[in-house]
Structure 1
């Protein structure tokens, strides 16, 4: 049967799929909108419509409070650099909306360039505040964030009281823990399906069973599951639901499901389960192929394209799966249990294609990525030439210029990756040795004294370094040398067409790429392979390390 690959890109914090359409607010929206999401269950809901002709977006935000409410567009997921609309309804029923800008994780200031958030309507009913407001997609305001195509990061917050004084210049109180964020493509959002479309279908679940979350700040728990024996003939899952236990929703950060290698064998009466680091040797064959993923802000319900289904059972070679759950428990809470997991809905008929996932990203190792301490920004380039994007002659021509690519279940290309060449590292280390030892490289990195000048040199090293390409199917790997990445000419930015008025001298604070000050001597922190959020391509990487560095 033909295979269809759906691309899944992981950027920490990658795994973003839009949230569900479940709505908590008892208030009906003012009008019909194209899209809606529940930002926080029983607390916050958002509706919006994009008008491409007017290059304008209209929001309606409902929150369970009679105080101020806020919605912001963030460049990176936090408050810093965010463009924020703060609104409330006063005791006379009048609606107020402020245009603010956050230069740091502190009280956002009033936008003193142009006012670009505009209130339309607002009301308070039954303990809820609802405000309809709008702004241009790109305001050309240096204190605003353009709403571009692709993923946008929304932040939201609220308080229990109105600003004081309750007027246009009212000052807002601190929101405390009453805040959140969501990442979603505002301009290309596709409403997720209702679970009703899967009613009456068989399903298979891979869920934890009252796992006790440790009172530590970060935990990765892994558990192996076997495909139910009842699926003696291959079936197609046509959608899935991520089940996040409501009792531990504040702890579950993300959940990944892996296919175990077809050669993996386990004792079915005692399948491995435990902290991922501690059982790594047992689960090593289940850390490459990703079958599913979810993270905070993601959609709980996903329907696959009508042409494709995810194969389960029968002659499909995958007989075991592993679920990895990452918990964030900064308050070190104890006696908390979790029953989160994945549910696959099984279609009644096979579809035309088998569905698989393509994974690409950067490995967390000294060879792949060594970021200077305190650097707020560090760029590792990956390129794909125009002839490759238009259909290169070989698969490796299309994928090898990324840092790491993994194709599941392909006959002629198991995976591909590139890394800084051993010769380049030897030159950087200024050593007379003719071969590079990975342990020595790691120790050299740990002993480096980092200065702002060293950080600049380090970025230039990554920009110009020669690369070694590794591709093929283990153990028959092939190696090519590449003196440098191909030259890349970026697209020319399109100038904003709106002429902003107001104070022309206002400038947005520029982020620094390195903390200035005294010289520091700090070790670079390396995360073990099993502790990274996404540990893909592991078997190939281990072979590569053995071939190149030993």
Structure 2
């Protein structure tokens, strides 16, 4: 009997703790973003990594229904959408749904979203709810550190029906971590702006505006501590002979309507100080060397490319002993054919971990991403970059290069303490690849690229090329900050997929047809105040008393040794 009561007690305590991890109806949420061009759809959110719970608050300028969920890159079909609103009589409705097709909503059998607040005033509706990062419902998309395509929709009445006019998708890093603040900003902080002024944007679809600008001129070492926020004990060094004196500012303009006469003044703001932090920040470029030996066949549903970095020569090239370095953030980069990429760490031939990754990459969202915890890289470790491309829309070869129609496979890692290494990138043996494709190879690499242009790129040959690129010996180019270059060779290791974590079962259970309202929603039993604000039910007093009594009983059992 004691064992049964103890299990019941544990279940109740775990349930109470699980509820406590969820942000309440009035808790402040750290992150926010407008989801539409007219700023009528506003999203706030926050999350708890430990409990794997995310909380959303959606506010829309409508008195009809509103919805928020996750979709994928290509279609709305299968998107999940949490829908709610306030009826004219003050009652609220709230439901976890999914899209059967691009227009038709259907309620999930498992209700995995927990309503925290649902209000309406004369002009807008606000809905706050929590959900697990990963529920056990196959209709719910997982919330991960990848790029999330957030779907928001609304209507002008309380009959939920999808409308292209009122549906918006925005790519967001929902689990991005902002660990630092300005509370301890140095008193002698100096602001320096790097910007392009009064730039006339050409009447072209795409323009890359590049200019070289001087960094601040200082007589002694200073630290830049923000353009994006660095860890509290790390800064970018300026003012020493080892530091850059100029910066290349590149701004990407999209003028798809080819509008004339548009001018822009924009750039970035640096904050720097003479109060030095403990470590200098370094940036290491990893991936595939950016030149045409990196190739991607046309018509590929999926094509994987690899770039290897071996750190065993770092100490020799650094000119001094190299200690462990700590990676605090990453920036991932491909061009338009890129679909996903990841950096994987190996030590003594054994895979350790994925340093950073994005399996839902969006070229239009490229920002630095802080890691949850610093990743330690020791001398001798290997780092492998894998990039996944799709070229179904191309009938021509794609080669590595700077143009947007060319490709790149790069990950920049932000680390400390800084060493004298700027890049470590690999590329495949193109002679081996050419031979494996049954073509006559030349000793001249560029001639082999011309030969590859003549290959009939069937699905079989695409897979054969991918396999050959992975199995060929890689040349690894290591470059120092002052442009010295050394090379070594290595082989691409296999990547062991990281197993998915366990899902969190819903407390809502399966919704039976008789539980649905005529509009197709499960009614939410919430009491409303006169201002259309629902009062959420709390844990009943009898449960509180039972928990209190169970805890006293459990402590007594421990003391008596029963």
Q: TM-score range by the shorter chain?
A: 0.5 to 0.7
CA shift, 1:42, in A, is: 4.6
Structure 2 contact 73–149 (Cα < 8 Å) conserved:
no
CA shift, 1:161, in A, is: 1.3
Pair 1:184–1:407, CA change in 2 (3 A): closer
Of stretches 71-80 and 29-38 in structure 1, the one that deviates more from structure 2 is 71-80
Pair 1:95–1:223, CA change in 2 (3 A): farther
2:445 to 437, 457, 478: 437
Alignment of 1:374-413 (within 5 A): 374-375=300-301, 377-381=302-306, 383-387=344-348, 394-395=379-380, 397-399=381-383, 413=421
Of stretches 39-48 and 127-136 in structure 1, the one that deviates more from structure 2 is 39-48
Q: 3-state SS of the aligned residue for 1:458?
A: helix
Q: Which residue of 1 aligns with 2:32?
A: 37
Please report the TM-score for the alignment, with normalisation by the length of structure 2. 0.61
Q: Which residue of 1 aligns with 2:173?
A: 184
Q: Which residue of 1 aligns with 2:257?
A: 331
Distance 1:192 1:336 in 2: 36
Find out whether 1:138 has 2:134 as its counterpart: yes
Pair 1:50–1:344, CA change in 2 (3 A): closer
Q: Which residue of 1 aligns with 2:539?
A: none
CA shift, 1:134, in A, is: 2.6
Structure 1 contact 45–61 (Cα < 8 Å) conserved:
yes
Q: Which residue of 1 aligns with 2:435?
A: 427
1:95 to 92, 113, 132: 92
Q: 3-state SS of the aligned residue for 1:468?
A: strand
CA shift, 1:32, in A, is: 1.0
Q: Which residue of 2 aligns with 1:416?
A: 424
Of stretches 56-65 and 130-139 in structure 1, the one that deviates more from structure 2 is 56-65
CA shift, 1:353, in A, is: 2.2
Q: 3-state SS of the aligned residue for 2:382?
A: helix
Distance 1:306 1:496 in 2: 34
CA shift, 1:407, in A, is: 8.3
Cα deviation per residue 1:408-461 (whole Å; 9 max; x = unaligned)?
Answer: 9976644322211133223135344441332x3333343333333333333333
CA shift, 1:50, in A, is: 3.9
Q: Which residue of 1 aligns with 2:222?
A: 235
CA shift, 1:203, in A, is: 0.6
Q: 3-state SS of the aligned residue for 2:165?
A: coil
Distance 2:460 2:49 in 1: 46
Pair 1:458–1:488, CA change in 2 (3 A): same
CA shift, 1:147, in A, is: 2.2
Q: Which residue of 1 aligns with 2:21?
A: none
Structure 2 contact 426–475 (Cα < 8 Å) conserved:
yes
Distance 1:79 1:362 in 2: 34
Cα deviation per residue 1:69-121 (whole Å; 9 max; x = unaligned)?
Answer: 332224559746532223333333333334343577x3364255433334443
Distance 1:111 1:357 in 2: 47
Pair 1:152–1:319, CA change in 2 (3 A): closer
Pair 1:115–1:447, CA change in 2 (3 A): farther
Q: 3-state SS of the aligned residue for 2:252?
A: strand
Answer with 1 or 2: which has the greater Rg.
Answer: 2
Q: Which residue of 2 aligns with 1:245?
A: none
Q: Which residue of 1 aligns with 2:119?
A: 123
CA shift, 1:212, in A, is: 1.4
Cα deviation per residue 1:16-45 (whole Å; 9 max; x = unaligned)?
Answer: xxxxxxxxxxxxx94114533233585443
Q: 3-state SS of the aligned residue for 1:304?
A: coil
Q: Which residue of 2 aligns with 1:541?
A: none
Structure 2 contact 288–426 (Cα < 8 Å) conserved:
no
Pair 1:194–1:329, CA change in 2 (3 A): farther
Give the superposed CA RMSD: 3.9
Q: Which residue of 1 aligns with 2:161?
A: 171
Pair 1:359–1:129, CA change in 2 (3 A): farther
Distance 2:76 2:180 in 1: 28
Pair 1:416–1:50, CA change in 2 (3 A): closer
Distance 1:55 1:481 in 2: 41
Unpaired runs of 5+ in structure 2? Answer: 1-23, 308-343, 353-374, 387-408, 512-562
Pair 1:159–1:324, CA change in 2 (3 A): same
Distance 2:52 2:110 in 1: 17
Q: 3-state SS of the aligned residue for 1:425?
A: helix
Pair 1:223–1:428, CA change in 2 (3 A): same
Q: Which residue of 2 aligns with 1:455?
A: 462
CA shift, 1:223, in A, is: 1.0
CA shift, 1:310, in A, is: 1.8
Distance 2:200 2:348 in 1: 52
Q: 3-state SS of the aligned residue for 1:340?
A: strand
Give the total of aligned pairs. 400
Pair 1:485–1:111, CA change in 2 (3 A): farther
Q: 3-state SS of the aligned residue for 1:332?
A: coil
Q: Which residue of 2 aligns with 1:319?
A: 245
Distance 1:309 1:479 in 2: 30
CA shift, 1:355, in A, is: 1.9
Find out whether 1:340 has 2:329 as its counterpart: no
CA shift, 1:61, in A, is: 1.4
Structure 1 contact 391–398 (Cα < 8 Å) conserved:
no
Q: 3-state SS of the aligned residue for 1:216?
A: coil
> Which one has a larger percent strand, Structure 1 or Structure 2?
2
Distance 2:79 2:213 in 1: 43
